[in-house]
Amino acid sequence: MDPNGSQWIPGSAFSPLGERPMTKDNHLLGNFELTGIPPAPRAVSKIEVTFDVVYDGILNVSAVEKSTNREKKIQIQHDQNRLSQEEIQCMINDAEIYKKDDDLQHERIVAKNALESYSYNIKSSINDNQNSSKISDDDKTKIKHAIESTLKWIQWNGLAEKDEFEHKKKEIEQRTRAHKNRNRPTNRFS
């Protein structure tokens, strides 16, 4: 956050040589910062990133924050951070060798992100007066505690396996659903 209270978002452009899903396994082409972003809850700011390859291998990268239309552009010249043919071939070979591991890692991260997104969505829903007015204060407190506990678990277990993240998501879904359903009016005649 800068002194004016606005946020900045770092960005990086990577070469997907070999199509490795993890950023750390790809080649960094350049960095940029998108500044002057107003503070917002998680997942509210929308950033549109565009990659445009122009003549002679020059790459233009632009990022626009949609609510403010703030834009940052970088141009990556063909010779900046350039890899040799040998390095490129090595990256392509690594992608083939590690494909199965990369796929498992991707599935693990998707499961982690699903748990984290679900938790933040429920947290946001509970904090939204319109939605939370249907839930008792006691149940709100219990749901908030369960969500905070889950977010701490994610923080401490970021390298957990896919099935652990999926199990934790089912667990938190059941806990939050039970509290939400308890507060719904029931039809005695159905």
pLDDT in tens, 4-63: 555 777 888 887 666 788 888 888 887 878 777 777 777 677 888 888 887 777 788 888
119: which strand partners?
none
For residue 179, the model assigns a pLDDT of: 73
Decide if 122 contacts 142 (C-beta within 8 A).
no
**pLDDT, tens digit, 9 for 90 and up, residues 145-160:** 999 999 999 999 999 9
User: What does the DSSP 8-state code read for residue 20?
Assistant: -
C-alpha distances in angstroms, 20 versus 73, 94, 131?
Answer: 25, 9, 41
pLDDT score recorded for residue 184: 61
Please give the pLDDT value at position 80: 58
- Tell me yes or no: is domain 7-83 CATH 2.60.34.10: yes
- Domain-by-domain residue ranges, the chain? 7-83, 100-182
Lowest mean pLDDT among 102-106, 113-117, 178-182: 178-182
CATH 1.20.1270.10 fits 100-182, yes or no: yes
